[in-house]
């Protein structure tokens, strides 16, 4: 059957109302409905039964696993290329994680040039060269505007829908998928990827490797029953392991391991840190602006600053969070297992000398006060008792009795407020997963597994991650746009 038979004048396959007299339409489109209809109690298994019957005729060119950011963009990309596509999503709706991105506003890309984009990729930026030169953030913005989503750019180049609603991003993507005739099966969990192993020594598309195996389909589970869906191309867009309640439970990573592919151990990243050295409950809720954090550990026998950043952070009931802490967490995993100290410079704009002058000025204005009442204008109230204790200065001492040596200790406490990092918070609180399917296994020009014909991995399931600012979603869009079957 020709896929083209289902397309209208613009090359789009209307969904689902067209009644073209073809097997595909009658067997699939008629039975596969968007989630709303399933929620009214229709029988998903009946659909799957009919679909698996049709699948024996290989009605779909591509199965996509996961209807998140990467999966939706993949569906659009491949359907635009004339492929007949089905997406299986285990949730009852599309883009559950996308919905909560950017605090519900979805920072969908960053309005920056490619150089800045690559500077913000933490893991495997080189792997992304082809995908980003094929579809960069300017392309993403044009794409979304082109499918009817008005955008706005905010501080730091962060791009959001003009409406401030992430649901609008999901809505334009789902609408586009439907217009292209992509079928989305909700409440349908892919359990297995089926692989043919007899197909030896086929030249891969990239010519850089020899396929050892080929993909043959997937096993889908819905309403308690398993069904086999045959297909020559499968795209795994199941996300990483972070925020598992959104559906990203690491399935793609598990399959990659089972298939013998190299996987970089997944770790929570862009995640708050647990610390010792303070009573967290005392400082909980305190937010610090215009501070500088530096993380120090032993590198090649010497203590070194391994990450430094200026910005904002906050104290929580377990430790520290906020923008500079989240970014730091993405850079620290390579030192896991080592002692890691966090120093907060509470007055980064002032040198040691300038800070001393400032303290002397404050002291002279409070000449008859006790030391404990003299630094209110210098530090946030919640920090004062802790800094006083750490400085070793008698809090009841008159300000004019504080010695030069004591001022030095106070300066050190303010410029190097020390905490010990004891761990990362878990995947439940991690914005992204660092690690995943090794980029060495994938052809960067197509995202196909070099050794398995027809099998591709895209999005957060791949060992590639970036900082906050819209870069992670851009990774998902770029990987999905370069797919080639």
Ligand X SMILES: Cc1cc2nc3c(=O)[nH]c(=O)nc-3n(C[C@H](O)[C@H](O)[C@H](O)COP(=O)(O)OP(=O)(O)OC[C@H]3O[C@@H](n4cnc5c(N)ncnc54)[C@H](O)[C@@H]3O)c2cc1C
Q: What residues line the site for ligand X (CB under 6 A)?
A: 65-71, 88-91, 96-98, 100-102, 106-107, 189-190, 237-239, 242-243, 246-248, 251, 431-432, 459-460, 470-473, 476
Closer of 237 and 437 to ligand X (Cβ):
237
3-state SS assignment for residue 449: strand
CB-CB neighbours of 369 under 10 Å:
16
Closer of 160 and 371 to ligand X (Cβ):
160
Q: What is the rounded CA–CA span in Å between residue 36 and residue 51?
A: 19
Between CA 479 and CA 485, with CA 480 as vertex, the angle to 5 degrees is 105
For the CB of residue 456, give the shortest distance to ligand X in the complex, in Å: 12
For the CB of residue 158, give the shortest distance to ligand X in the complex, in Å: 8
Q: What is the rounded CA–CA span in Å between residue 365 and residue 250?
A: 59
- Structure token pair of residue 266: 């997944």
Which run of H or E residues covers position 49?
A: helix 44-55
- Structure token pair of residue 179: 């217009």
For the CB of residue 371, give the shortest distance to ligand X in the complex, in Å: 43
Secondary structure (DSSP) of 256-313: HHHTT--EEEEEEES--EEEESS-HHHHTT-EEEEEEEEEEEEETTEEEEEEEEEEEE
Closer of 190 and 455 to ligand X (Cβ):
190
Q: What is the rounded CA–CA span in Å between residue 243 and residue 471?
A: 18
Closer of 211 and 243 to ligand X (Cβ):
243
Q: What is the rounded CA–CA span in Å between residue 304 and residue 287?
A: 27
Give, rounded to a whole angstrom, the gap between the first and last alpha carbons of the chain.
18
For the CB of residue 238, give the shortest distance to ligand X in the complex, in Å: 4
Closer of 247 and 322 to ligand X (Cβ):
247
* DSSP summary character for residue 10: T
Peptide bond into 6 cis (omega under 30): no
Residue 167, CB half-sphere, CA atoms under 13 Å: how many? Answer: 2
Closer of 257 and 304 to ligand X (Cβ):
257
Closer of 313 and 473 to ligand X (Cβ):
473
Q: What is the rounded CA–CA span in Å between residue 330 and residue 122?
A: 7
For the CB of residue 309, give the shortest distance to ligand X in the complex, in Å: 19
What residues contact residue 108 under an 8 Å CB cut-off, 6+ apart?
A: 101, 102, 140, 144, 151, 159, 160, 161, 169, 470, 473, 474
Which run of H or E residues covers position 105?
A: none
Closer of 157 and 459 to ligand X (Cβ):
459
Q: How far is CA 135 from the centre of its chain?
A: 18
Q: What is the rounded CA–CA span in Å between residue 222 and residue 428?
A: 26
Residue 80: left (phi > 0), alpha (psi -120 to 50), or beta?
alpha
For the CB of residue 428, give the shortest distance to ligand X in the complex, in Å: 10
For the CB of residue 242, give the shortest distance to ligand X in the complex, in Å: 5
Closer of 252 and 366 to ligand X (Cβ):
252
Tokens 């052809």 -> residue: 443
Closer of 122 and 237 to ligand X (Cβ):
237
For the CB of residue 102, give the shortest distance to ligand X in the complex, in Å: 3
3-state SS assignment for residue 207: coil
Closer of 108 and 342 to ligand X (Cβ):
108
Closer of 156 and 392 to ligand X (Cβ):
156
Query: Which residues are 276's β-sheet partners?
Result: 420
For the CB of residue 394, give the shortest distance to ligand X in the complex, in Å: 46
For the CB of residue 373, give the shortest distance to ligand X in the complex, in Å: 42
Closer of 65 and 359 to ligand X (Cβ):
65
Query: Which residues are 235's β-sheet partners?
Result: 64, 456
For the CB of residue 403, give the shortest distance to ligand X in the complex, in Å: 49
Q: What is the rounded CA–CA span in Å between residue 376 and residue 384?
A: 8
For the CB of residue 471, give the shortest distance to ligand X in the complex, in Å: 6
| Residue-level length of the chain | 485
- Structure token pair of residue 5: 């038979």
For the CB of residue 436, give the shortest distance to ligand X in the complex, in Å: 9
């Amino acid at each position: 059957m020709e896929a083209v038979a289902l397309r209208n004048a613009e090359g789009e396959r209307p969904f689902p109302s067209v009644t073209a007299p073809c097997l595909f339409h009658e067997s699939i489109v008629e039975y596969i409905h968007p989630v709303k209809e399933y929620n009214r109690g229709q029988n998903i298994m009946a659909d799957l039964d009919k679909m698996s019957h049709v699948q024996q005729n290989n009605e779909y060119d591509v199965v996509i696993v996961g209807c998140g950011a990467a999966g939706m963009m993949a569906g659009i990309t491949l359907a635009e290329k004339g492929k007949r596509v089905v997406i299986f999503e285990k949730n009852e709706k599309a883009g559950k994680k996308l919905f909560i991105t950017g605090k519900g506003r979805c920072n969908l890309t960053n309005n920056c040039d490619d150089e800045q984009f690559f500077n913000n990729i933490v893991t495997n930026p080189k792997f992304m060269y082809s995908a980003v030169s094929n579809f960069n953030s300017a392309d993403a913005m044009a794409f979304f505007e082109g499918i009817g989503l008005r955008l706005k750019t905010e501080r730091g180049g962060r791009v959001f829908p003009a409406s401030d609603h992430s649901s609008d991003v999901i809505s334009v993507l789902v609408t586009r998928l439907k217009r292209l005739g992509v079928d989305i099966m909700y409440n349908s969990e892919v359990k297995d990827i089926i692989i043919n192993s007899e197909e030896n020594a086929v030249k891969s598309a990239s010519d850089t490797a020899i396929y050892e195996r080929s993909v043959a389909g997937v096993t889908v589970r819905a309403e308690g029953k398993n069904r086999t869906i045959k297909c020559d191309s499968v795209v795994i867009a199941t996300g990483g392991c972070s925020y598992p309640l959104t559906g990203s439970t690491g399935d793609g990573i598990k399959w990659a391991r089972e298939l013998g592919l190299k996987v970089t151990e997944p770790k929570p990243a862009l995640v708050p840190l647990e610390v010792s050295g303070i009573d967290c409950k005392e400082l909980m809720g305190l937010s610090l602006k215009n501070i500088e954090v530096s993380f120090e550990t032993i590198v090649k026998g010497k203590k070194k600053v391994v990450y430094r950043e200026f910005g904002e952070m906050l104290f929580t009931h377990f430790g520290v969070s906020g923008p500079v802490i989240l970014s730091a967490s993405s850079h620290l995993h390579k030192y896991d297992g080592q002692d890691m100290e966090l120093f907060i410079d509470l007055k980064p704009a002032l040198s040691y000398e300038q800070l001393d002058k400032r303290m002397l000025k404050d002291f002279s204005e409070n000449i008859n006060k006790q030391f404990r009442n003299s630094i209110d204008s210098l530090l946030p109230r919640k920090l004062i008792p802790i800094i006083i204790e750490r400085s070793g200065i008698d809090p009841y001492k008159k300000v004019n009795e504080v010695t030069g040596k004591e001022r030095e200790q106070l300066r050190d406490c303010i410029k190097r407020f020390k905490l010990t990092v004891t761990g990362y918070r878990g995947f439940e609180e991690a914005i992204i997963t660092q690690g995943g399917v090794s980029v060495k296994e994938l052809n960067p020009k197509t995202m196909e597994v070099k050794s398995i014909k027809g099998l591709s991995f895209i999005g957060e399931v791949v060992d590639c991650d970036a900082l906050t600012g819209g870069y992670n979603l851009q990774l998902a869009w770029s990987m999905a746009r370069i797919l080639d079957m």
